Amino acid sequence: MSSTRSSRFRLGAALLIAAFLLPSCGRPAASSFEGQRAYEWVLRQTAFGPRAPGTAGHDSCFALLDATMRGLAPVVEADTFHYMVPSLDREVTLFNLVARFRPEATQRVLLGAHWDTRLWADLDRDPVRRGEPILGANDGASGVAVLLELARVLHDFNPPIGVDLAFFDGEDLGTDQDPNGWFRGAKQYVMRHAAEPPPIFVVVIDMIGRRDLELHWEGNSYERAGNIVDLVWGVARKMNLRQFRSDVRVFVYDDHIPFLDAGIPAIVLIQFPFPEWHTHDDVPAIIDPESLEAVGRVLHRLVSEPTFLDN
Ligand SMILES: [Zn+2]
C-alpha cells in the first residue's frame, strides 16, 4: 500500500497539533490512583514482618514511610512520643508522621491511617500463637498503602486544597485491661495540633483492602459526622463503586474518635469485622488491589474536586 508515508505524516501532524492544543485545554489530566501500586506498598510493609511498637519491623517501616514522604511532599513532620504498655511492663517509642500537600492552603482536609500493627494475635485459632504480633496486611498495611499511592498522585498533580496525609502510630495497643492503649497516635496528633486551625474534616481509613470489600456506614461516623459520610458516599455513588454500602452495621472506635471528641468532623472507612481480624491469617493473600483502588479513587476525587467548599 502506498498510503504508509502519507498516513504517517498525517499522524505526525495530528500529534503536533494535539501537543499545541493541550495547554489550551486547561490543566493536564491528573495521574490516576493505581490499585496495583498500592498493593505493592502492602507487600513492602509486610516484608518487614510485624510493625508492632518495640519491634525491629516497626522502626524499619517508619524509616521507609519517612523517606518516602520526604521524597513526595513539600512539608513532612515527624513526632516522637511514648506509651507505657502495662502487659510489657515497659514504655514503647511511637512515631507519627504527617505529609502536607499544598502546605500554604488554609482550607485543609486530613486523611489518616494507622501504620502500627497489633502486638498480639488475640483472636488466632491457635492459643499458643496468640501472644505473637500479627502481620497486619489489612489491619495496618492496607490503609497506609492507599495513603502512599495517594501521595504519588498528589505529588504529580498538586490538589486544589491543602491535604494532610497522617500516619498514626499506636492505634492497636489497647486491651480489655488497658483501654487507654487504643489510638494513641491519633490522640497525640489532636493534642499536638490543638492550637492550630483544624482541618475541615478528617477521613480515617482502616482495614479497607480485603477482597470482596464492603464499606458500610460506621455508626459513630454516621451519628457524629453524618454530613461527611454523605459527602464521601456521594462521591462513591458518582463513581458507581459497589464497595460502598448505605447502612450502619457496627459502631467502631478507631482513630477518628479523638478528632470527634475535639469537635472536628471525622469519619472512618472500615470493613469490620473481617474473618482474619487480629489473627495470623491477616496476610497479603487476603488483599485485593481492586479494593485499595476503590478507596484510593474516592479519596483522590474528594480532594481534587472539593465540591464541599461551595456549601
Ligand atoms: Zn487492629
Q: pLDDT of 266-286, one tens digit each?
A: 999 999 999 999 999 999 999
| Intra-chain end-to-end CA distance of the chain, in Å | 60
- Tell me the CA–centroid distance for residue 62 and ligand 1, in Å: 18
Backbone angles phi, psi at 188, to 5 degrees: -60, -40
Closest by Cα among 267, 47, 261 to 145: 47
DSSP lists the bridge partners of residue 303 as: none
In whole angstroms, give the CA distance from residue 182 to residue 229.
Answer: 23
C-alpha cell belonging to residue 125: 485459632
In whole angstroms, give the CA distance from residue 208 to residue 292.
Answer: 7
C-alpha cell belonging to residue 91: 514504655
Backbone angles phi, psi at 269, to 5 degrees: -100, 120
- Tell me the CA–centroid distance for residue 158 and ligand 1, in Å: 32
Question: Residue 311's pLDDT is what?
Answer: 57
In whole angstroms, give the CA distance from residue 151 to residue 111.
Answer: 11
Backbone angles phi, psi at 128, to 5 degrees: -65, -30
Run of H or E residues at 216: strand 215-217
- Tell me the CA–centroid distance for residue 121 and ligand 1, in Å: 9
- Tell me the CA–centroid distance for residue 229 and ligand 1, in Å: 22
- Tell me the CA–centroid distance for residue 138 and ligand 1, in Å: 9
- Tell me the CA–centroid distance for residue 164 and ligand 1, in Å: 23
What are the residue ranges in the chain where pLDDT is below 70? 1-30, 311
Which amino acid, one-letter code, is at 59?
A: D
Greatest CA separation found in the chain?
83
- Tell me the CA–centroid distance for residue 126 and ligand 1, in Å: 18
Rounded alpha-carbon distances, angstroms, from residue 2 to 14, 140, 179: 19, 60, 79
Count Cβ atoms below 10 Å from residue 23 Cβ, excluding itself.
Answer: 9
- Tell me the CA–centroid distance for residue 118 and ligand 1, in Å: 6
Pairing of strands 266-270, 201-206: parallel
Run of H or E residues at 105: none
Are the beta carbons of 188 and 96 closer than 8 angstroms?
A: yes
- Tell me the CA–centroid distance for residue 21 and ligand 1, in Å: 51
Question: Residue 310's pLDDT is what?
Answer: 77
- Tell me the CA–centroid distance for residue 20 and ligand 1, in Å: 52
C-alpha cell belonging to residue 291: 479494593
- Tell me the CA–centroid distance for residue 114 and ligand 1, in Å: 9
Backbone angles phi, psi at 151, to 5 degrees: -60, -40
- Tell me the CA–centroid distance for residue 207 and ligand 1, in Å: 8
Domains contained in the chain, CATH given: 32-310 (3.40.630.10)
Which amino acid, one-letter code, is at 18?
A: A
- Tell me the CA–centroid distance for residue 59 and ligand 1, in Å: 18
In whole angstroms, give the CA distance from residue 35 to residue 293.
Answer: 4
- Tell me the CA–centroid distance for residue 66 and ligand 1, in Å: 22
- Tell me the CA–centroid distance for residue 134 and ligand 1, in Å: 9
By three-state DSSP, how is residue 144 classified?
A: helix
- Tell me the CA–centroid distance for residue 139 and ligand 1, in Å: 5
- Tell me the CA–centroid distance for residue 243 and ligand 1, in Å: 21
C-alpha cell belonging to residue 257: 474518635
Are the beta carbons of 69 and 98 closer than 8 angstroms?
A: no
